[in-house]
């Protein structure tokens, strides 16, 4: 069966159902009541069902089929509004979709707050968020699988990418609760060097403060891997404070008062040099920087 009905008929159907009056809808639309009734009758003919029970002197009531199809009709109209809104956004140069890649250990709250602000400013924008280890964030940008990246600074980054510092994260020295260092009030460099150090690094780069302070070192490309190693008593490490404060880890780690602590971990926004950031991406970048700085 070919579809003959149009959006005007669908709008009239929803209006009559909500106002329970053909005459009220006719006055509102500045149409003859017969025009409204005929439009609904044609819609019923196209759909092959009766939408309203009509009795002389009574308000039109939805049939069982009409009740079922009412929400479908509303959704059709909502989808039309989305289509018009998306088209208007595109004519203004706004992105239809924004793909954000973030380091898996990125601070949760600033990201959430900035995305909430983005949703309020660009309600029709589609957002795709992916979390990955540090090196994979840059790779997604290089391979054009992401438009904007949030990562922690490291010394090497692909030439095709631009970077901008937006804030920093405090690093602390920690070990597991059952580690020999856990009960010591103060730990100097000599004492730290007696135990295995768990370092964060990728295959292609290292992080600030990731120089070895012990002759025995294990390395991983994920702060969460380091956290699991710490809880297993495999060594001590420098971790971002917000990870140490996660509920899962709070009772499993001890922050050490040590002689040396690495510099803060720098947070950067990264994007491809040859691709222009649209207004939504620029808004998100600005809002994230504000949210990150607000927690310092």
Q: What is the pLDDT of residues 165-203, one digit of tens each?
A: 988 888 899 999 999 999 999 999 899 999 999 988 765
The answer to whether residue 2 scores a pLDDT higher than 60 is no
Please say which residue of 65, 91, 117 terminates a domain: 91
**Of residues 275 and 282, more confidently modeled:** 282
- Is 77 found in the same domain as 30? yes
Query: For 140-163, what is the mean pLDDT?
Result: 86
Per the structure, the complete domain to which residue 129 belongs is given by 97-168+266-294
Q: Are residues 289 and 273 in the same domain?
A: yes
Domain boundary among 91, 110, 137: 91
278 in a domain, yes or no? yes
pLDDT at 134: 67
* pLDDT confidence of residue 57: 62
Return mean pLDDT, the chain.
86
Q: What is the CATH number of the domain that holds 203?
A: 3.40.190.290
- Cβ neighbors of 37 (< 8 A, separation 6 or more) are 22
pLDDT for the residue 175: 94
For residues 162 and 281, membership in a common domain is answered with yes
pLDDT digits (tens, 9 = 90+) for 8-31: 888 898 998 888 888 898 898 888
Q: Are residues 77 and 104 in the same domain?
A: no
The model's pLDDT over 254-275, given as tens digits with 9 standing for 90+, comes to 999 988 777 888 899 998 887 7
Same domain, 87 and 199: no
Other CB atoms closer than 10 Å to residue 44's CB: what's the count?
Answer: 19
Same domain, 73 and 136: no
pLDDT at residue 160, as a whole number: 83
Residue 218 in domain: yes
Identify the CA nearest to 295 among candidates 112, 130, 102. 112
Beta bridge partners of 197: 217, 236
Percent of the chain with pLDDT over 70: 91
Domains identified in the chain, total number: 3
Same domain, 147 and 255: no
Are 155 and 278 in the same domain?
yes
Mean pLDDT of 95-114: 91
| Whether residue 200 is found in the same domain as residue 251 | yes
Per-residue pLDDT at 204 exceeds 70: no
195 and 226 housed in the same domain = yes
Q: Is residue 225 part of a domain?
A: yes
CATH number at residue 31: 1.10.10.10
- In this structure, is residue 53 part of a structural domain? yes
**Are both 186 and 117 inside the same structural domain?**
no
Q: State the pLDDT at residue 9.
A: 87
- Examine the pLDDT at 102 and tell me if it is beyond 90: yes
80-86, Cβ contacts within 8 angstroms, sequence gap of 24 or more:
80/7, 82/124, 85/123, 85/124, 86/124
Q: Tell me what the mean pLDDT of segment 117-130 comes to.
A: 93
- Range with lowest mean pLDDT among 90-94, 167-171, 226-230: 90-94
- 272 shares its domain with 259: no
Question: Poorest-confidence range of 86-90, 140-144, 252-256?
Answer: 86-90
Q: Look at 144-148, 198-202, 241-245 and tell me which has the smallest mean pLDDT.
A: 198-202
**Does any domain span residue 1?**
no
Residue 133 domain-assigned? Answer: yes
Mean pLDDT of 224-244: 92
pLDDT at 235: 94
Q: What is the CATH number of the domain that holds 278?
A: 3.40.190.10
pLDDT in tens, 35-80: 888 988 888 888 888 988 877 667 888 888 888 899 999 888 888 8
- Token digits for 149? 């990246």
Residue 2 within a domain: no
Two structure tokens written together for 242:
């917000």
């Amino acid at each position: 069966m070919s579809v003959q009905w149009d959006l005007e008929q669908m709008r009239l159907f929803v209006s009559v159902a909500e106002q329970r009056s053909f005459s009220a809808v006719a006055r509102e639309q500045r149409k003859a009541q017969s025009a409204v009734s005929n439009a609904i009758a044609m819609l019923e003919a196209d759909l092959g069902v009766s939408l309203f029970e009509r009795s002389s002197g009574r308000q039109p009531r939805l049939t069982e089929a009409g009740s079922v199809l009412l929400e479908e009709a509303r959704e059709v109209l909502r989808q039309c509004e989305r289509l018009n809104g998306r088209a208007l956004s595109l004519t203004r140069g706004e992105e239809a979709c924004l793909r954000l890649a973030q380091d898996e250990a990125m601070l949760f709250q600033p990201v959430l707050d900035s995305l909430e602000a983005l949703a309020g400013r660009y309600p029709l924008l589609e957002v795709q968020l992916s979390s990955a280890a540090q090196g994979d964030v840059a790779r997604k940008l290089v391979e054009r699988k992401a438009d904007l990246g949030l990562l922690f600074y490291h010394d090497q980054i692909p030439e095709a990418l631009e970077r901008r510092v937006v804030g920093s994260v405090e690093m602390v020295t920690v070990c597991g609760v059952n580690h020999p260092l856990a009960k010591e009030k103060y730990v100097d460099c000599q004492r730290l060097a007696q135990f295995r150090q768990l370092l964060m690094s990728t295959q292609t780069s290292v992080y600030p403060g990731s120089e070895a302070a012990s002759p025995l070192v294990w390395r991983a490309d994920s702060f969460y891997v380091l956290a699991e190693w710490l809880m297993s008593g495999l060594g001590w490490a420098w971790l971002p404070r917000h990870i140490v404060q996660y509920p899962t880890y709070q009772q499993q780690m001890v922050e050490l008062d040590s002689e040396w602590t690495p510099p803060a971990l720098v947070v950067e926004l990264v994007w491809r040099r040859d691709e222009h950031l649209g207004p939504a991406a620029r808004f998100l970048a600005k809002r994230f920087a504000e949210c990150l700085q607000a927690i310092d």
